[in-house]
Amino acid sequence: MNNSAERSRAGIAATAGLLIPVATTAVYMSTLGGPSEPGYAGFEAYVTNRWSEIVTVWLTETVGFAIGAIAALGLAQQAGSERASWNAVAFGSIAGLVSTAIGIGLFRNFGTAGEANFALTIGVLNLSFFFFFLGKALLGAGAAGLGYALLKRSSGLSKVLGGVSILAGVVALGVNIVAMAQGLALTFPGGLTGTIAALIGAGAAFKLTRSPAAQTEETLEETASLLRPQTA
């Protein structure tokens, strides 16, 4: 990224990459939810009867994660003090990609493999949700870092947004670290806190990449790097 216009465009892409999974999560929870009854019979009916809807939502989410990962990696390359935050967003998106890939590739096959294999199905679910929680934790860390950068460089409502992003990110990070050990029992709190952090972090990312102060700092860093003595 060589100028503020490119940074702004990448920021818009990163914001979209954060918001698309937020939207798909809202759609999934409001229209699909999960199996209507516990156990193998409920899961088999769920992945059989509603599979086309599930895949549509997850594929859309996958596109969002891919956009977010690519944009965040690009921003991290020249982000200076924000590099770790953008890398957290990028790797959180990649973890989300792994989670949806496991879901799309394996859930239906294992979910219809017979009740005798249901323990394996639960294992696949736990694996997918481990990456789900990992992704939410990393996105929380990224949201907290971007919020801190915005808090330092802005004023007024943007500073408030930065503070809220820090809080939401830290909560999501903590809850989802615990959820990685607890498994499916913490699916709702892990998903909820991670989704809130992604939503608020998207606002922080958008403001930060369009902030004149942020662009000025990036320009100064680039200028300083050009002026440093080159060693052989």
DSSP 8-state symbol, 36: S
CA–CA separation, 197 and 216 (whole Å): 27
Counting Cα atoms < 13 Å in the Cβ hemisphere of 118 gives: 10
pLDDT at 34 (0 to 100): 85
DSSP 8-state symbol, 211: -
Residue of 123, 57, 66, 63 lying closest to 92 (CA atoms): 66
* Cα dihedral sign, 220-226-227-230: positive
Is-contact 117 82, C-beta < 8 A?
no
pLDDT at 78 (0 to 100): 76
CA–CA separation, 62 and 103 (whole Å): 11
Residue of 181, 203, 77, 95 lying closest to 139 (CA atoms): 95
Is-contact 35 42, C-beta < 8 A?
yes
**Regions of the chain short of the pLDDT cut 50:** 1, 215-216, 219-220, 222-223, 232
pLDDT at 164 (0 to 100): 98
Claim: this prediction has a pTM higher than 0.75: yes
pLDDT at 219 (0 to 100): 47
pLDDT at 160 (0 to 100): 95
pLDDT at 220 (0 to 100): 47
Question: Is residue 63 packed enough to be buried (19+ CB in 10 Å), middle (13-18) or exposed (0-12)?
Answer: middle
* Cα dihedral sign, 184-53-137-157: negative
Is-contact 86 51, C-beta < 8 A?
no
DSSP 8-state symbol, 183: G
pLDDT at 226 (0 to 100): 52
pLDDT at 232 (0 to 100): 46
